[in-house]
Structure 1
Amino acid sequence: MSIKSYREALNEALFEEMRRDPSVIVLGEDVSGGAGGTSGTRDAAGGIFGVTKGLIGEFGDERVIDTPISESAIIGAGAGAAAAGLRPVAELMFADFVGVCLDQIYNQAAKFRYMFGGKMQCPLVIRTAMGAGMNMGAQHSQTIYPMLTAVPGLKIVVPSNAADAKGLLKTAIRDDDPVVFFEHKALYNKKGEVPDGDHAIPFGEADMPREGDDCTVVAIGRMVPFSEKAIDSLADQGISCDLVDPRTVSPLDTDLIFESLEHTGRLVVVDESPPRCSLASDIAGIVASEAFGSLRGPIRLVTAPHAPVPFARELERAYVPGPDRIAQAILEAVKG
C-alpha cells in the first residue's frame, strides 16, 4: 500500500492501463500540452485538474491527444474511436458541459451495442469533474450523475476515495461498454491508502466503510467522507450505523443495501444532487418498492436544495449537505 491523493491514484491508473494495453488512448483539452511551452518541452498541466500529467512524455501525441475546445468533438471522436477498436479515455473538463455533447453520449455511444444487435462494442470512458465546494459557480459545480444514470447502456461510476478511484478507473478502461466516470473536484487532493499494482474493483459491488446496528446510511461520492464524520460524531451517543458507498450507481448494488436495511431497519440516503429525480429519491423508491418490510420508520433524504449551486462561498457552504445535516437526519431516523 502507498499513500496517494485521489488525483495521483487516477494518474497511476492511466499510466498502468496505457502500458498494459496499446489500444488505450487519452483525449481532451490540454492533456498533452498543445504545441509546447517556450522551453520547447512538450507537456501540460495534465488537463485542468492535473490528472493526465506526464502521459505525453511516455506515450506520445498519437495516444495523448489535445483536442479543440469542443465537447461534441471530444466525445464524438471518443465514441468513433471506440467503435473502431480503440479504448479511448475522453476528458470532459466539467460535468456541467455534458449538455453540449449529450447526443453523442446518450443517443450514440450508449446505444451502439443495442442498435447493432450486439455486434459492436463501445469501450469509451468519459472522465469528468463534478461537484460543489470549490467556489466555481452554478455552471461548474453540479453533480449530474442522476441524469446519466437514467440512460440505459451507460455505466456510471462515482468513486469516493483514492483507492476506489484507481481500482474503478482500471475496470472502466477494460469494460466493453461506455462508462461515465465522475470525479469530485473537492476530493482530488484527499489522500488515502492505495494498493500497488493491478488493483481493479468490479462494478456493482458496494463498499461498507462503517458498520453498525441503528441505521443504514447510503452516501454517494464526496458525501461518503462527510457521512463518516457524521456517523463518528454520534458514537458518544451510543448510535452506530452501516455506511454503504455504492461506488457505481449503474449498476447499483441493491443487495448490500437491502441486507443492511434488514439488520438496521432505518435508512438515510445522502446525495449532493438536488432532491427531484435524484439518486436519493431513486434509492428511496427502490427500497420502498422492494424492501418495505424491513423499514421501521420513514426514509430520510439529505440532499442539496432544488436550486442552482451558489457562487458566494458562504451560500455554497450552506448548499452542500454537510456532516451536521447528515448527523441530524440519522438522529431523526433513529429516535423519530
Structure 2
Amino acid sequence: MLTSPTADQLLVWYDHSRRLLPWRAPPGQLADPYRVWLSEVMLQQTTVAAVQPYFRAFLARWPKVEDLAAAPVEEVMQAWAGLGYYARARNLHLCAKTVAEWRHGRFPDDETALRQLPGIGEYTAAAIAAIAFGRPAVVMDGNVERVMARLHAVTEPLPKAKPRLKALAAALTPSERPGDYAQAVMDLGATICTPKSPACGICPWTGGCAARAQGIEASLPAKLEKPERPTRRGIAFWTTAKDGSVLLRRRPPKGLLGGMMEIPSTDWRPEAWTLSDARAEAPITAEWRLLPGVVRHSFTHFHLELQVAAAKTGSGTAARGVWCPLDSLDGQALPTLMRKVVRHALAKAYERGTL
C-alpha cells in the first residue's frame, strides 16, 4: 500500500545527503541571490560538473553583481566561451547592469519582479525566490519533472504533461524551508531518481512512488519522439598572415552564437558547398585550399558539418575581420565550435605545410 509522500521526508534525506556545490549556502542559511542567479543561468542546458569551474572563475573575477556589470561585455563573452547558448551570456551581462544601475545591486525577492529582469524566465525566477529569499515558489526543471512523473505515475508524455506536473509539485512545496526543498528535489533527481536505472531502494519517497509500485518507473517521464535534426554545411576560412596572425570576425549580436568571435565562414545551408561557390564569401581574395576532414558540431536544432579552407596572405592585408596573433587565440571569445575549427586547421594545415 502506498504512503503519501511528504516534504518532511525529503528534507530529512536532504539534510544528510545534500550535494556540496559552490553556490549553495551552509545549512540553515539563505544563499546569496547573486550566486544563485549566476549558477542557475549557467546551469541551463549544462551539467553541474561542467558549470563548477566556470562559476568559480566568474566569482573570482567578478565577486559582486556590480563587478560583473562594470566589466566589458567582450570580457564576459570570452569568460563564458565553452558553456554554449551564448545569448545567456549577453543577457547575464545586461541583467547585471540592470540590477547594479537600477536596483542598487539588489535582486528583487519575488518571482513577478524577478521575471522582469533580462534573461530571467519562469524557472530561474522561482529558483532565486525560493533558494535566496525563502519564498514557497515551485521550481521546475528536468529533474523535478522526472521525480513528479514517477512519484504520481503520470504517463502523459512531455511537454503536454508539464502543467499537471507543476500542479503536483506545487501541492508538495512547503512554506517552511522552500529553498532547501527545491534543491532537495533537484538533488533527488540528479543522484537517485536518475533518467536510467533509478536507485529506488534508497529513495526517501520509494514508499509513496506510484510508478515504482507499478514497475514503470524507468519508462517515465514519457516523451514524444523528437524529429531527426537536419544537417547544415559550410566552409570556414582559415586565413593566416606572414607574421602568424589569424583572421577572426565577430558574429552579429543577435542570433546563434551572437556576439562571439569566429573563424569567418560561408552561410550554413543544407546543400554542400564547393570551394568555387564559397570563394565569393571568403574574407579575402587568396589561393584557397580545402584541408582534409570535416569539423562536426551539434546545436539544439541541427547538426553542422564544416570543411576548412586555408590560405596565406601578406601582413596588413585588408580583410573583413580582425587579425589575432596565433598565441592569443585562447583569450578570444571563441565558442566551442570555433575552437574545434582552430584545432582542426592547426593539425591539418601544418600537416600539409599549408602554413
TM-score normalised by length of structure 2: 0.22
Larger radius of gyration: 2
TM-score normalised by length of structure 1: 0.23
Give 1 or 2: higher strand fraction: 1
